[in-house]
Chains A and B, each alone.
Chain A
Amino acid sequence: MIGLVLHRLVQAVPTLFLVVAGSFFLMRLAPGGPFDLERPLPRAAMENLSRTYGLDQPLAVQFLRYCAALLRGDLGPSFSFRDLTVAELFARGLPVSMTLGALALVLAVCAGLGLGSLAALRRGSGWDRAVGLMAGTGLSVPGFVVAPLLQIVFGLGLAWLPVGGWEGGAPSHLVLPAITLALPQAGAIARLVRSALVETLNAPHVRTQRAMGLSPARIARHALRAALIPVVATLGPTAAALLTGSVVVETIFGLPGIGRYFVDGALNRDYTLVMGTVVLVAVFVMVLNLVGDIAAAMLDPRTRSMR
């Protein structure tokens, strides 16, 4: 287990370097800059701005400076939000995205586990087919279709829930975004759970348990542990998908989260904001990958000896 953690930490160094270098040079090589307006600024002003933000230095120097600042934990000033640092923007946006993501994750896991086990236990029945179809549909309908439909039905039609906005995280404002975000993941998890559970239920040890006369409920409980492994093991990719989805969800529901900042930042050539988001997301996904692997190893004795 410690080996796994160490291995991942060692691996994190080149990964993060790649992330930083990749996004840095990708952005700098692209045409356009953060201070390009429709009406060009006077040359003197442009030079001043460039000097203030260090953009007049050679690229290599800028890169080293950025890396040095990053090691100190300094993400730099935002280019498009005046007077705000990237860290300050994250302090505002992160709670929003985290709340939403966590809620969606819980929703997706609960729904996915429930439906997936239902399908596996009643394999080949109408329930199984219904769950399969639901999961397939959930996976296939993009969030930007689900979101406006939910808004129209529950926001405008029934007027049960607000259509958008954050309002300091009021629970009613969280429901629709969280459902939108959770839907595809619930579908993915339901399928994972179903196939893992089906496989386990056909395994020799379960047959032995059946032969020994264990009640179906107890057998299902044993089998569920095995079914949880792939869910936990894919925690990293799931988190990555939730983050990606939150870009859409935050845009449609008008939530001030990281995803919105990222898209706005990219469109405004806000170098530091984009870099900061990419680094943050990379770290986040790596951490959850590790957490998922550790949890899977704890659930699955076979992989415990794994590096």
Chain B
Amino acid sequence: MTAGGSLGRLAAGRLLRRPVAVAAVAVLTAVALACLVGPLLTGHAPGRIYPDLVRVAPGPAAHPRGDDLPDILARLAFRMRVRLEAVVREPGTVRLTLAADRPIDPRVLTALPRSDLFGTPVVLSRAEDGRGLVVSVPVRRLHFLLGTDALGRDILSRSLVAGRVSLLIGLVATAVALIVGVVYGAVAGFSGGTLDAVMMRIVDILYALPFVFFVIVLLVFFRANLVLILAAIAAVEWLDMARLVRAQTRALRHRDFVRAAEALGRSRAAILARHVVPNTLGVVVVAATSLVPRVILLESFLSFLGLGVQEPETSWGALVADGARSLETAPWMLAGPTAFLVATLVSLNLIGDALSDALDPRLRDLGAT
């Protein structure tokens, strides 16, 4: 080993030498950015329903496709109470010849743009008695890269918006678990003695509780909402963190720099905040990176049981659960959200692994492997 350097800098350097870790960071950043700004770019509001484009298969093609047009137009004509005499397809538009037994009120034409598939119609000519109409309608070109679901909603937009919720739950629940766990663990470890014993017994007892079952009971009996889900998940996950930080704090408690700070007359709170907690952060960061995927997975588990995020809000878990149920009819409903979920979770897990290796001072001499 040549130069020293702070643990953080060394770790960052080691992390960046691992191609897998760099790739994972890149994927995670891409997913997060996509979820943040993506919904604005897909061209579909996430809740927008296209009743005529239900279970559209994914692909780069524009919808409505030429083959589907006659069916869609026939349905619209029925709704407008007119007969569709002729359809002439032109680039970007269709020319429709409509007829009826009674004079056609041009206002029925608003059904065309209202279907979200066509633009504003232009009347080209009108029969003398008003019973015939020739209109030219621009056909919109809608893209559903990941297909649409059973209601005709764009899966890409839904997945991206769901990602916001899933990532939010992952980050907030982890942050809460982190803060509670670090403070609890640091106080217990630093105090030692009876207080430490009592505090850790409490953790031991809570640890043996079948918490996930409690969470299910909680969410079934009180209507599920985001805050409750967050609280429930955080309540499960802070225990690990508390144990980890306590063990670290115990190890740091009698180190010289802590003694020195004590000799200098710093208050215990100041020593904890300034000297002890920062030294536990390496372990905490690693634990937190593996906590986020656990939290997201737990939320998706709850969503599968119908206890997680509720419509119209959605999360990756809710979408994946939805997709799993319609796997036979529309496999892409599962594929899209699952791809996002799994890519995120795998990247987070890989980053956690790489970080724990990178922050491990024992591996310093072994070089990056």
Residues of A within 8 A of B (CB): 11-12, 14-15, 18-19, 22-23, 26-27, 30-32, 123-124, 129, 132-133, 136-137, 139-142, 144-145, 147-149, 152, 156, 191, 202, 236, 240, 243-244, 247-248, 251-252, 262-263, 266-267, 269, 274, 277-278, 281-282, 285-286, 289
Q: Is B280 an interface residue (CB 8 A)?
A: no
Q: Given A26-B221, A152-B327, are A142 and B209 also a contact pair (CB < 8 Å)?
A: no
List residues of chain A with CB within 8 A of the CB of B220: 266-267
**For the complex, is B201 an interface residue (Cβ under 8 Å from A)?**
yes
SS class of chain A's interface: helix, strand, loop or mixed? helix
CB of B225 to closest CB in A, whole Å: 14
User: Measured between alpha carbons, how far is A108 from B50 in the docked complex, in Å?
Assistant: 45
With an 8 Å Cβ cutoff, the count of chain B residues facing the other chain is 42
Q: Name B209's contact: one of A15, A133, A136 (CB within 8 Å).
A: A15
Q: In the docked arrangement, what's the CA distance between A182 and B130, Å?
A: 71
Query: Is B317 at the interface (CB under 8 A from chain A)?
Result: yes
Contact of A15 among B208, B346, B369 (CB under 8 A): B208
User: Which of A137, A140, A141, A244 is within 8 Å of B301, CB to CB?
Assistant: A244
Mask, B300-334, CB within 8 Å of A = 1, is: 11001100000000000100110011011000001
Pick the contact of A240: B210, B328, B341 (CB < 8 A).
B210
CB contacts (< 8 Å) of B321 on chain A: these are 144
CA separation between A243 and B209, bound complex, in Å? 13
Given contact pairs A140-B346, A248-B304, A278-B210, A145 touches B324 in the complex (Cβ within 8 A):
yes
Q: How far is the CB of B346 from chain A (nearest CB, A)?
A: 5
Is the pair B20, A124 in contact by a Cβ cutoff of 8 Å?
A: no
| Residues of A close to B362: CB separation below 8 A | 202
Does A18 lie within 8 Å of B205, measured CB to CB?
yes
Are B293 and A140 closer than 8 Å at their CB atoms? yes
The 13 sampled A-B contact pairs (Cβ below 8 Å) are A18-B209, A132-B20, A139-B349, A142-B300, A144-B304, A149-B327, A262-B213, A263-B305, A266-B217, A267-B220, A274-B217, A281-B210, A289-B208
**Complex Cα gap A149–B350 (Å):** 24
Roughly how many angstroms separate A278 CA and B317 CA in the complex, as a whole number? 24
**Whole-angstrom distance from the CB of B206 to the nearest CB of chain A?**
8
Mark each residue of chain B from 346 to 365: 1 if its CB lies under 8 Å from any CB of chain A, else 0: 10011001000000001000
List chain A residues, Cβ under 8 A from B217. Answer: 23, 26-27, 266, 274, 278
B297 in the interface, Cβ–Cβ < 8 Å? Answer: yes
Interfacial residues, chain B to chain A (CB-CB below 8 A): 20, 201, 204-206, 208-210, 212-214, 216-218, 220-222, 293, 297, 300-301, 304-305, 317, 320-321, 324-325, 327-328, 334, 338, 341-342, 345-346, 349-350, 353, 362, 366, 369
B317:A142 contact, CB within 8 angstroms: yes
CB atoms of B216 and A136 under 8 A apart: no
Distance from B220 Cβ to chain A, minimum over Cβ atoms (Å): 4
B208 touches A23 (CB 8 A): no
User: Contact: A30 with B20, CB < 8 Å?
Assistant: no
* Distance of A163 Cα from B20 Cα, bound (Å): 37
Asked if B349 and A136 make an inter-chain contact with CB atoms under 8 angstroms apart, the answer reads yes
Chain B residues near A30 (CB, 8 Å)? 221-222
Task: Give A278 to B215 CA distance when docked, in angstroms.
Answer: 11
Extra contacts, 12 of them, besides A132-B353, A244-B212 (Cβ < 8 A), are: A15-B205, A23-B217, A26-B217, A30-B222, A136-B345, A144-B321, A244-B213, A248-B304, A263-B216, A278-B217, A282-B208, A285-B208
Q: Which residues on the B side are within 8 Å of A27 (C-beta)?
A: 217, 221
Given contacts A140-B345, A142-B301, A248-B301, is CB(A124)–CB(B369) below 8 Å? yes
- Among B209, B325, B341, B342, max chain A CB count under 10 A is at B209
CB neighbours (8 Å) of B297 from chain A are 140, 142
Docked CA distance A27–B220 (Å): 9
In the bound complex, do residue A282 and residue B210 qualify as a contact, i.e. CB atoms below 8 Å apart?
yes
Nearest 4 interchain pairs by C-beta = A30-B221, A140-B345, A281-B210, A266-B220
In the complex, what residues of A have CB within 8 A of residue B350's CB? 132, 136
Q: How far is the CB of A21 from chain B (nearest CB, A)?
A: 11
B293 and A11 form a contact (CB under 8 A): no
By the criterion CB–CB under 8 Å, are B216 and A262 in contact? yes
Within the complex, which residue of A32, A136, A148, A277 is in contact with B324, where a contact is CB–CB below 8 Å? A148
Q: Which chain B residue has the least Cβ–Cβ distance from A184?
A: B297
A243 touches B210 (CB 8 A): yes
A277 pairs with B369, CB closer than 8 A: no
Given contacts A129-B20, A140-B293, A244-B301, contact A285 B210 (CB under 8 A): yes
> A287 to chain B: closest CB distance in Å?
10
CB-based contact A23/B214 at 8 Å: yes
Are B320 and A139 in contact, with the CB atoms below 8 A?
A: no
- Shortest CB-to-CB span from A56 to chain B, Å, is 20
Query: With A124-B369, A248-B304, A262-B213 known to touch, is A148 a contact of B317 (CB < 8 Å)?
Result: no
Q: Considering the chains assembled together, what is the distance between the CA atoms of A202 and B369 in angstroms?
A: 14
Report A-chain residues with C-beta under 8 Å of the C-beta of B301: 142, 144, 244, 248
Residues of B within 8 A of A243 (CB): 210
Contact between B304 and A277, CB atoms less than 8 A apart: no
Question: Which residue of B has the minimal Cβ distance to A23?
Answer: B217
Give complex CA distance A133, B212 in Å. 27
Expressed in whole angstroms, the minimum distance between the Cβ of B296 and any Cβ of chain A is: 9
Nearest CB in chain B to that of A259: its residue: B213
Complexed CA–CA distance, A83 and B213 (Å): 25
Choose from A12, A31, A149, A281 the contact partner of B213 (Cβ within 8 Å): A281
- Taking the closest CB of chain A, its distance from the CB of B244, in whole angstroms, is 14
B141, chain A: closest CB distance, angstroms = 32
B320 and A144: CB pair below 8 A?
Answer: yes
B201: which A residues are within 8 A, CB to CB? 11
